Amino acid sequence: MDLIAAIKKNRFVVVGRVGMDLFPGPGIATEDADTFTADMGGSSANIAAGIVKLGGQAALVTRVSDDAVGRFCINKLRHYCVDTTYVTPVGGEARNSLALYESRVAGHQSVIYRNGAADFEMTAEDVEAVDYSQFCALITAGTVFAAEPSRSATFRAFELARAAGLPIIFDVDYRPYSWPSREVAAEVLSKAGAMSDVIIGNDDEFGFMAGDKDKGLAMARELSLSSAGIVVYKMGEHGAVTFRDGEALRTGIYPVTALKPTGAGDSFMAGFLTGLAGGHDLKTAVLRGSACAAIVVAKPGCAPAMPYPADLDHFLAGHPGPTDAI
């Protein structure tokens, strides 16, 4: 499999959740707010929206609640031109995830409602309905593995994608509140990582999978040598280390005045993949992902804050440049 050649086709199938985000105005605490803005959330949905805004194509595979909130999420996916062919409503007590977060850094609060999450109801039948031949790669984020039947369904999607010749792109995205235990999370996320061609995570996430944060970088390097074609080890303000073909590429970040800490990882993924799809070399693609992350943390919302190509070009032209790699 030629990993980069596949990504250049720029048409992705994304497995995982879509939800509703609610956020008050900049600087306002949730408990002091009178009004909230509603928009789309959920890591996988945000990644899909970011890819489409940057000129790619993406279809989401998930379950939503068969109610007004689920329909809101579907409408928002369509607003961002994400293909909803494989988004399936589920009835009963399942509910879409809801995130309330603030547009402030000091004292930032995020409250996530994931009780009876509809996306965890995704089944093997849902992923078996996908025509994988229409896509260039499968993307997912780690939360999709946190509960059944979604966990087994996603591993089934991995099998089907691999059989169709698609590379698997995995954002570790470890959220402790979604998992039954740390031990289950470490085992399952490590299994998913070993099956993936591109792995993106931060130092805490790789450290978690390795059992010790000090061992995370070594684990990222080992995955790049044993199974994955590209591994991106993100270190927040210290930039990233990207492993490919036994080489380690170090890059900095684009400093901005952050309005909030949320959405950076999803936007990085979208910028990185569309950068590779657009023919940029690996270093440039990583830096484009970092620029997209910087753009998103400086604006309210997640999906609405993600840049279009003109926004990204304007940011790169006006910014003094990334920090030195560490």
Q: Which domain holds residue 25?
A: 15-314
Contact assessment for residue 56 and residue 152, using Cβ atoms and an 8 Å cutoff: no
Contact assessment for residue 119 and residue 18, using Cβ atoms and an 8 Å cutoff: yes
State the burial class of residue 112 (Cβ atoms within 10 Å of its Cβ: 0-12, 13-18, 19+).
middle
Contact assessment for residue 293 and residue 267, using Cβ atoms and an 8 Å cutoff: yes
Furthest-apart CA pair in the chain: how many Å? 53
Percent of the chain with pLDDT over 70: 100
Place of tokens 């690996």: 282
Q: Is the pLDDT of residue 311 over 90?
A: yes
Q: Is residue 278 in some structural domain?
A: yes
Whether this prediction's pTM lies above 0.95 is answered by: yes
Q: Is residue 321 in some structural domain?
A: no
Tell me how far CA of residue 37 lies from CA of 20, 193, 244, in angstroms. 10, 35, 41
Q: Is residue 51 in some structural domain?
A: yes
Mean pLDDT value across the chain: 97
Q: Is residue 48 in some structural domain?
A: yes
For residue 248, the cross-strand partners are 243
Q: What is the pLDDT of residue 266?
A: 98
Q: What is the pLDDT of residue 157?
A: 98
Q: Is residue 272 in some structural domain?
A: yes
Estimate the crossing angle of helix 203-210 against helix 182-194, to 10 degrees. 100
User: How many structural domains does the chain have?
Assistant: 1
Q: Is residue 326 in some structural domain?
A: no
Q: Is residue 310 in some structural domain?
A: yes
Output the domain CATH number for residue 212.
3.40.1190.20
Q: Is residue 219 in some structural domain?
A: yes
Between strands 37-41 and 19-23, the pairing is antiparallel
How much is the average pLDDT of 44-49?
98
